[in-house]
Amino acid sequence: MDSSAHAGRTAPAERVVLYGRVGCHLCDEARATVSRVCGEAGLAWREVDVDDAPAPGEPDLLEAYGDLVPVVEVDGREAARWRVDEATLRAALAVARGPVRPA
């Protein structure tokens, strides 16, 4: 899922990546939190399914993350795993690039 895709436009680089899987209730909760916080802040984000087969030369995300999902990265650094709350995500975004406030 790429939440930043817009028809006919190049999507901005995603600051936030959610690693998860289909059928994971914690991933569903994390997706809602990430969508809400990033939407309010006008930030691009994307979701990566760890169960998808890796592209040639890419790491096996199932091996890397296994049962750790959901995992949220902000600017390439792990910000949360298992439970993702708005305060934690906002703090990670603030540390990475300055305060993020709701619109």
Q: What gap in Å lies between CA 41 and CA 43, rounded to an integer? A: 5
pTM, 2 dp: 0.78
Quick: pLDDT tens for 37-86.
999 999 999 999 999 998 898 888 888 888 899 999 999 999 999 999 99
The number of beta carbons lying within 10 Å of the beta carbon of residue 43 is 20
Number of domains in the chain: 1
Residue 10 lies in a domain: no
Residue 59 lies in a domain: yes
Average pLDDT, the chain: 83
Could you tell me the two tokens for 59?
């790491």
pLDDT (0 to 100) of residue 95: 79
pLDDT (0 to 100) of residue 64: 87
CATH number for position 48: 3.40.30.10
